[in-house]
Amino acid sequence: MNLIIDVGNSFVKLAVFHEDKLKHKEVVDLDNIIEHIKFLKKEYASIKRAIISSVGKLKQTEINKIKEYFDLLVLSDETSLPFKNSYKTPKTLGVDRIALVCAAVQQFPNNDTLIIDAGTCITYDFVTSNNEYLGGAISLGLSMRYKSLNNLTANLPLLELEIPKSIVGGSTKESIHSGVVYGVLKEIDGVIETYKLKYLDLTVILTGGDTKILSNQLKSSIFANSNFLLEGLNYILQFNSNE
């Protein structure tokens, strides 16, 4: 069994896989990561290997502690990957984006695939049918757009996400919801359509924290999978274990 440790800026996703099957998933505070990992080690005694993907701050002492429990792989730009990376600045490519591409290569082999991760940021990552990663785009996510309108203006309030009933906002609050939500939806649909002009048989995956909110609102045909990144990390661990 494999333990997947996905470290964000504030929280950590922990997942247990048996081969390709997700058996357990939880979100924990970064401060309590070691205690939760100890608990999982007791609950799933057959876990032998683990992988860490960290875009947040994980202390070296914590990494060393995890190494005491498992055969540990820390994902980086030097990790062996199942695709050709043609990104011009590979050392600046986020490990989360690497994991998403690996999931696409495993689950949609020989497909031109666009992966859209709708979280704090919206990232777009494209891998060709020849397993070559070309790059993509980074944009503002829903929550970041709400916060920017509040932080960078004098009078606009900070609102919680709400799906607008109409594209025409009849008040300031309704106008903000319309601008943020429809702005994101039209952006995503527009990006997909632009890719489809060049890659006619395009597979599109939507993942990330805002998957449920956005998936039913988009007009484009997509595969929605909120666990895509975790599945990609599990595949990277399998790929490196088989070398």
Residue 61 annotated as lining a ligand binding site: no
Residue 97 annotated as lining a ligand binding site: yes
CATH match for 2-74 among 3.30.420.40, 1.10.15.40, 3.30.565.10, 3.40.50.300: 3.30.420.40
Flag whether pLDDT at 152 surpasses 70.
Answer: yes
Q: pTM of the predicted model, to two decimals?
A: 0.92
Residue 8 annotated as lining a ligand binding site: yes
Pick the catalytic residue from 20, 31, 71, 96.
Answer: 96
- Cα-Cα-Cα-Cα torsion 158, 159, 165, 171, nearest 10 degrees, comes to -40
* CATH class name, domain 84-233: alpha beta
Counting beta carbons within 10 angstroms of the beta carbon of residue 82, is it exposed (0 to 12), middle (13 to 18) or buried (19 or more)? middle
Can you tell me the distance from the alpha carbon of 34 to that of 96, in angstroms, rounded to the nearest whole number? 21
Q: Please state the domain extents for the chain.
A: 2-74, 84-233
* Catalytic residue list contains 31: no
Can you tell me the distance from the alpha carbon of 116 to that of 125, in angstroms, rounded to the nearest whole number? 7
pLDDT at site 182: 96
First to last CA, the chain: 17
pLDDT at site 216: 86
Question: pLDDT tens digit string along 94-149?
Answer: 999 999 999 999 999 999 999 999 998 999 999 999 999 999 999 999 999 999 99
